[in-house]
């Protein structure tokens, strides 16, 4: 069988709902390792028509129908065309019994070989690794998480250009999509521009050079269109870059992998803490030198990641473990000596905030106080004693500490495990 086409019909309340079911159908196929080479969705007057080009058997078509029926949809049926070397067969399956088959007899034609289309042949990609079927499958699984969390409540026209970039690395289409979206929303011309955060969050790059080339591509766009952007937007544009740096420390399962995220972090921030750090974007005379101010956020991310890895119970997941590059250890200890922020307070009239809980849990763990124990007899748990002892020795022996950290350490020593939430 070659180049079969399956059309699924179902009634749906809205285009957004139809998009959701369409995505679910595609992901169901990919989860079964079915080779999907083209797909599209049409929606009109509550009738959705999903057309899939995929190697299918009738049993799988029935499974897709049952998937739609379980979602409470009505008027569900399918049309499946088998194009077998010029011989076309037709199969219709209805949702009432899933057993109504109608088949057209094959037409008498000379059989000519046809070449199966593939996903990689249909889509132009920016990097060779994106043609790997294993990469494509893993990428699709990650996209399911991103769509559900970030885009599920938005119409597809708002994020389809991001989806294309996520799977192809086409920065040009990403930029064009943002401009079209800004025009559709009727924003003032001087406020329409792409965002660097979309590259940080959705880049399919596999190497630092690939990622930096995408950043430079977008930077070149801003240089070319500098005169068309309102003056008051530049602070927002550059802060959009700076705000992405802390998130590189703990980005499980989204965008590029953790090892590349580490490389990007140290490329921008250097190998050690520098309170006067500037981040460079672009090259040559047009490069931007952006002052970095988000050190407290970096310190909080580091304490959260090290704390979760070291002091989470043995049953809890290790989603933060892969960030533990040894260079982060130096960063954490150095920053404890210099950053003196809200996370160190011992008394807050409005109540403790999430970052303060994270800070206290980390410091209590360093002091071998188990704030997560379920009984008084449960012993202190640490996943990596060597790392724990290294951190403990370096923090205890800090030559100087900011007043906020010093006061908090004394507060926790006094209250022990009760200091975790005491205000």
By the 8 A CB rule, do 265 and 251 touch? Answer: no
- In terms of Cα–Cα distance, which of 67, 53, 57, 65 is closest to 8? 65
| Sign for the pseudo-dihedral over CA of 213, 218, 221, 226 | negative
Helices and strands, counts by H and E, the chain: 15, 7
Q: Beta-strand (E) ranges in 133-287? A: 278-281
By the 8 A CB rule, do 218 and 202 touch? Answer: no
By the 8 A CB rule, do 180 and 193 touch? Answer: no
Q: Beta-strand (E) ranges in 150-303? A: 278-281, 288-291
Distance CA 385, CA 259 (A): 23
Query: How many residues are recorded in the chain?
Result: 423
**What burial class does residue 48 get, using C-beta atoms within 10 Å of its C-beta: 0-12 exposed, 13-18 middle, 19+ buried?**
buried
Q: What is the edge-to-edge ordering of all strands in the sheet holding 74-84?
A: 36-44, 47-54, 2-11, 74-84, 87-94
What the block records as the tokens of 328 is: 């982060």
The tens place of each residue's pLDDT in the chain, 423 residues long, gives 335 677 888 888 888 788 888 888 877 776 665 656 667 788 877 888 888 876 555 567 777 777 887 887 878 877 776 654 444 455 556 555 444 444 444 444 444 444 443 333 345 678 889 888 888 888 888 888 777 677 877 888 999 999 999 999 999 999 999 999 999 999 999 999 999 999 998 999 999 999 999 999 999 999 999 999 999 999 999 999 999 999 888 765 566 788 899 999 999 999 888 989 999 999 889 999 999 988 888 998 899 889 888 888 777 766 666 667 888 998 999 888 888 777 888 887 777 787 888 889 899 999 888 776 666 667 788 888 999 999 999 988 888 888 888 888 889 888 888 887 777
Instruction: Report the predicted TM-score, pTM, of the whole model to 2 decimal places.
Output: 0.68
Distance CA 68, CA 75 (A): 10
Distance CA 105, CA 109 (A): 12
Q: Please report, to the nearest 10 degrees, the dihedral formed by the alpha carbons of residues 35, 40, 43, 48 taken in order.
A: -20
Distance CA 399, CA 2 (A): 72
- Cβ neighbours of residue 343 closer than 8 Å, sequence gap 6 or more: 296, 299, 300, 353, 355, 356, 358, 359
């Amino acid at each position: 069988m070659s180049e079969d086409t399956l059309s699924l019909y179902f009634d749906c309340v809205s285009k957004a709902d139809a998009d959701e079911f369409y995505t679910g159908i595609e992901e169901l196929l990919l989860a079964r390792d079915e080779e999907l080479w083209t797909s599209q969705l049409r929606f009109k007057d509550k009738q959705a028509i999903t057309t899939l080009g995929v190697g299918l058997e009738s049993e799988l078509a029935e499974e897709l129908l049952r998937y739609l029926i379980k979602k409470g949809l009505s008027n569900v049926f399918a049309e499946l065309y088998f194009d077998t070397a010029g011989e076309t067969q037709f199969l219709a399956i209805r949702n009432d019994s899933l057993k109504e088959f109608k088949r057209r007899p094959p037409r008498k034609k000379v059989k000519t070989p046809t070449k199966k289309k593939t996903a990689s042949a249909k889509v132009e990609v920016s990097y060779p690794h994106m043609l790997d079927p294993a990469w494509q499958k893993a990428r699709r699984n990650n996209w399911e998480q991103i769509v559900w969390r970030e885009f599920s409540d938005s119409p597809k026209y708002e994020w389809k250009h991001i989806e294309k970039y996520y799977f192809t690395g086409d920065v040009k289409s990403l930029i064009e999509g943002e401009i079209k979206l800004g025009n559709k929303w009727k924003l003032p011309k001087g406020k329409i521009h792409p965002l660097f955060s979309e590259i940080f969050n959705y880049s399919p790059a596999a190497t630092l050079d690939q990622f930096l080339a995408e950043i430079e591509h977008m930077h070149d766009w801003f240089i070319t269109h500098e005169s068309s952007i309102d003056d008051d937007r530049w602070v927002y544009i550059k802060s959009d870059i700076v705000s992405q740096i802390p998130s590189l420390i703990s980005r499980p399962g989204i965008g590029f992998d953790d090892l590349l995220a580490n490389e990007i972090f140290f490329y921008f921030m250097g190998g050690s803490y520098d309170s006067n750090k500037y981040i460079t974007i672009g090259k040559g005379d047009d490069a931007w030198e952006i002052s970095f101010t988000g050190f407290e956020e970096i310190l909080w991310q580091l304490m959260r990641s090290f704390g979760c890895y070291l002091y989470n119970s043995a049953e809890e997941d290790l989603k933060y473990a892969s960030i533990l590059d040894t260079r982060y250890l130096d960063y954490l200890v150095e920053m404890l000596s210099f950053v003196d922020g809200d996370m160190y307070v011992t008394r807050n009239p409005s109540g403790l905030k999430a970052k303060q809980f994270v800070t206290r849990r980390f410091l209590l763990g360093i002091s071998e106080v188990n704030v997560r124990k379920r009984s008084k007899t449960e012993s202190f748990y640490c996943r990596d004693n060597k790392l724990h002892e290294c951190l403990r020795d370096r923090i205890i022996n800090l030559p100087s500490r900011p007043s906020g950290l010093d006061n908090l350490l004394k507060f926790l020593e006094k209250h022990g495990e009760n200091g975790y939430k005491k205000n």
